[in-house]
Amino acid sequence: MKLTIIGTGYVGLVTGACFSEMGSTVTCVDIDQEKIENLKNGKLPIYEPGLENLVVQNYKEGTLNFSTSLEQTSKNSNIFFIAVGTPPGEDGSADLQYVLQVAKEIGQNINEYSVIVDKSTVPVGTADKVKSTIQSELEKRGANIEFDVVSNPEFLKEGAAINDFLKPDRIIIGADSERAATIMKRLYAPFSRNREKVLLMNVRDAEMTKYAANSMLATKISFMNEISNICEKLGVDVENVRRGIGSDSRIGYSFIYPGCGYGGSCFPKDVKALIKISRDQGFEPELLNAVERRNSLQKQVLSDKIMKRFGRNLSDKIFCMWGLSFKPGTDDIREASSIEILKELIDSGATIKAFDPVAMDQARKEFPEIWFDKEQIIFEENQYKAIENTDALILVTEWKTFRQPDFKLMADTMKELIIFDGRNQYDPEEVSEAGFEYHGIGREKL
């Protein structure tokens, strides 16, 4: 099958690479000429394990192509995936300007029956707006061309996106016509050979499913973070509580790890958007409000612990930060807890030596330039270089390389032996035996 995917960000590029891997002929379209040329040369705009190999190999084999011209690619395709950004507005609503601009261009260029697929995370009712926009452009052309708009939300975890796409738990297809549903099922047939994974529903149901899924996962995280704060007040080790409740099959272990808050491009944006959608319908989403509030507060927990230990004037302190990305396996720092922690510490006069296995290049683009100009933050070449002559280690992202550090080497090079463990990666007893003072999330030693 011949597909056009508009947008070469995280969702668009993974979608295009995986469909081409399964035999479809895919053209990814983007208005950014430099990005398209880089992709042709095997240079990706994002880090995602396994993605580079798929892109390079399938481009070489001719099943994956890149272009800046939707007009040109539309001549050879009748399935169009919209995978452009929907950034949050100031009120939390999803900004649909890029989605609707793409819909407008599709309406200006299709010449036969087409299926237009909303792959971007969009509010309930967006498919209606896309349909109206395309129809308006067709009427301007005097063209009588049939088309259907489908919702096909993505459920990709950054750091595991390739496996999630190639071996999905479920494939949600929201379609209001049998014709479009049949085409989509045929497109996804290679991904559900061992069992039927396609869940058919109407378009609005599919749009809502994406928001509900992400909000549910965010709720589990915020709930466990709430419990961790209560545990700390009571002198309870939250890790024992986590294991105790996770062993209940009705709860499970996924997404109940306490930490310093969730981030990324999905959970924060989607929770805010669903709150806005609810309010627009006259319903106040009390639970979602609490989820968002807890997450905001949780991002301050580590900096509060640090200032409680060292005081609010940190002008003579140097801290090491391990991890900058919002989670391991990605270079994405959007809404990362590291950003909020850094702001608090740097504003209080601290100097930060930081290391992240893959996110430092992205962080250098996103962090305030003044931090680097004044050497308030210094990126080091490895984790042990970053730890030298520091007053404490702050673990923010639980990369595998940080899981079993050389505590003896750290003790020999640090000024003060203190660890602030934002992801509860270390055993407090082991850390204490190595001579370190330990501060975790919901497991302070009383």
Catalytic sites, residue numbers: 266
> Contacts from 189-198 at CB under 8 Å and sequence distance 24+?
190/22, 190/23, 191/22, 191/165, 191/166, 191/167, 192/168, 197/168, 197/169, 197/170, 197/171, 198/170, 198/171, 198/173
3-state secondary structure of 145: coil
DSSP code, position 416: S
Sequence-ordered list of residues with C-beta below 8 angstroms from that of 21, at least 6 positions apart, any chain: 54, 58, 63, 166
Rounded Cα distance, 331 and 348, in Å: 27
Q: Are 323 and 397 in contact (CB under 8 A)?
A: yes
Determine the longest span between alpha carbons in the chain, in angstroms: 78
Q: Which residues are CB-contacts of 163 (< 8 A; sequence separation ≥ 6)?
A: 50
> Quick one: CA dihedral 310, 313, 316, 318, positive or negative?
positive
CA distance 105 to 83: 14
The C-alpha atoms of residue 357 and residue 395 are separated, in whole angstroms, by: 13
- Tokens 């705009």, residue located: 45
Length of the chain: 446
Q: Give me the phi and psi of 64, to 5 degrees please.
A: -125, 125
Residue 434: Cβ within 10 Å count? 17
- Contact yes or no for 412/436 (Cβ under 8 A): no
Distances 38 to 33, 65, 73, 261 between C-alpha atoms, Å = 9, 12, 19, 34
Instruction: Copy the structure tokens of residue 246.
Output: 């996770």
* Among candidate residues 172, 190, 141, 283, the one with its CA nearest the CA of residue 1: 190
335-353 per-residue burial string, b: 16 or more CB within 10 A, e: under 16:
bbbbbbbbebbbebebbbb
Other C-beta atoms closer than 10 Å to the C-beta of 177 total: 15
Phi and psi based region of residue 420 (left: phi greater than 0; alpha: psi -120 to 50; beta: remaining): beta
